[in-house]
Amino acid sequence: MHPTQPPDPASQEKAALWVTTVTSFMGPFTISSVNVALPAIQKEFGINAVELGWIATAFLLAVAVVLVPAGKIADLYGRKKVFTSGLALFTFSSLFAAFSTSVGILIFFRVFQGIGAALFVTTGMAILTSIFPPQRRGKAIGIYVAAVYAGLSTGPFVGGFLTQQLGWRSLFIAGVPLGGASVYITLALLKGEWADARGERLDLLGSFLYGFSILALVYGTTALPKFWAVCLIFIGLILLLVFIRYELRVHYPIFEVRLFVQNKVFTFSSLAALIHYSATYGITFLLSLYLQYIKGLTPQAAGTLLVAQPVIMTIFSPFAGKTSDRVEPRILASIGMAITATGLFIFSFIGPQTEIFYIAGTLAGIGFGFALFSSPNMSAIMGAVENRLFGIASGAVATMRILGQMVSMSIVMVVFSIFIGNEKLTPDQYPFFLKAAQICFVLFAAMCTVGIFFSYFRGHLRKTV
């Protein structure tokens, strides 16, 4: 429903644009900046490679589990309430994470950071759409999306600079003023509430089935090859199948599974997105460790180099999106995925003597492939559904992205556990780390190659005459 007695529309739009843009920046910035700080965190706490991976994975796991039910809760009880709650939780968790005295405490607050991020990520775009009229909505969404890429682009550089100059804890403190200001603006200036699904029932059973299946699958995967881990994965798969069957029958599903069953273009495009994110998210994590451990770069220098990929993505994404209005999206997206697969395969040959310009050039190539894939693929997903399903489709895309990122980190952690185990990343372990990174890039390249099939054979979005 629309807010009662709305204030000046211009002030509402400014307030909404501020808080949603800041939050769309904070999430990607937190992810990309913390990856650069991992060697510094490892040095302070003396932790092993698997524990290091959990610092990144815990955040994504929390987002993945909460993202789907959070969207429905926001539609039922109010997007502003959920948005503000998530923002406050993220801000306080960031502050507490900065004062962590052990890796366990840090991971604990990373989980709550992820829960908070899930709450504001799933509601930010919905609030923006609710407030801005159609004739000004496109520009607002463009600013929102640009902030996402800005977070990805500046995260490695700013994260490296802050880590080197002020220490890794400064990364978590940096977001507190932005979060606090956004909470204040949301409460003071953003009037009214939006709850378009008020009166519907919350699918509690579906929420629990989804959450426990994701938890079992991810935690089991990271503990392979232990027998209990295999059992946990099996339980997770069973719960996931039960969840899918249940969602097909329930009247108010937490996740619109029917859309995947009935729409080939949507399904194959979503699977392509899942595979692409699964194959690319671990790049920054692996290269951040490689550049600092193997190449001896400072956090600031490593962060500067890692900017190459998101900068190219930012430059070419609008071009790719515009081109997909004229060229069949599956063609562009498939070419982009092929370029990404090639870059990942090239990275499988990195070693101690690999030149820095070789790394930067390959990152730029992957960034170009990512841009060529991402915008056309999003266009295909949104163009494959009716207008009334835009919200559900957008939520499904966000879920595929988060699940893909989580799968990527799970693969890295499994390979690390096999090649490095519970050993700390000391110089005598560097050869094993390098071999693990090379194996990860081979697996990522293979996944991307498989993804080309789903991308190309998704079907035609437009009818040719």
Helix (H, G, I), strand (E, B) or coil at 18: helix
Question: Cβ distance 126 to 77 under 8 Å?
Answer: no
Report how far residue 273's alpha carbon sits from residue 271's, in angstroms, rounded to the nearest whole number: 5
Polymer length of the chain = 465
Q: Which residues is 48 bridged to in the sheet?
A: 424
Q: How far is CA 48 from CA 43, 99, 384, 420, 447, in A?
A: 10, 21, 45, 9, 27
Instruction: Work out the burial of residue 81: count CB atoms within 10 Å of its CB; fewer than 13 is exposed, 13-18 middle, 19 or more buried.
Output: middle
Output the six-digit token pair for 443: 């697996």
The runs of H, that is alpha helices, within 200-256 are 204-222, 227-249
Q: CA-to-CA distance for 462 and 440, rounded, in angstroms?
A: 37
- Residue with tokens 């209005």, as numbered in its chain: 325
Phi, psi for residue 286 in degrees, rounded to 5:
-65, -45
**How confident is the model at residue 47, as a pLDDT?**
84
Which residues have a Cβ under 8 Å from the Cβ of 464 and sit 6 or more positions away?
none
- Whole-angstrom distance, CA of residue 94 vs CA of residue 74: 23
Inter-residue contact 365 to 325 (CB < 8 Å): no
Locate 161 and state its tokens: 């600079």
Q: Which residues, other chains included, contact 208 with Cβ-Cβ below 8 Å and sequence gap of 6+? A: none
| Domain 257-465 belongs in CATH node 1.20.1250.20 | yes
Closest CA to 111 of 73, 80, 66: 66
In this prediction, residue 1 carries a pLDDT of 46
Contact status, residue 129 vs residue 290, Cβ threshold 8 Å? no
- The pLDDT value recorded for residue 395 is 66
- The one-digit pLDDT tens for each residue of the chain (465 residues) are 455 555 667 777 777 787 888 888 888 888 788 888 888 898 888 888 778 888 888 888 888 888 888 877 877 777 888 888 998 999 999 999 999 999 999 999 999 999 998 888 877 777 777 777 766 665 676 677 677 777 877 888 888 889 888 999 998 998 898 888 888 877 776 676 666 656 677 788 988 998 899 888 878 877 777 788 889 989 999 999 999 899 888 887 877 787 787 788 888 888 898 999 999 988 988 998 899 889 999 888 888 898 888 888 878 877 777 777 777 888 888 999 999 999 999 999 999 999 999 999 999 999 999 888 887 887 777 677 765 566 566 667 777 887 888 788 888 888 988 888 777 777 888 899 999 999 999 999 999 999 998 888 876 655 433
The CATH fold assigned to 1-196 is: Growth Hormone; Chain: A; (1.20.1250)
pTM score, whole prediction:
0.77
Report angle CA 227, 214, 310 to the nearest 5 degrees: 115
- Residue whose tokens read 């890429």: 149
**Distance between CA atoms of residues 141 and 134, nearest Å:** 11
3-state secondary structure of 198: coil
Classify 223 as helix, strand or coil. coil
User: Are 57 and 406 a contacting pair, CB within 8 Å?
Assistant: yes
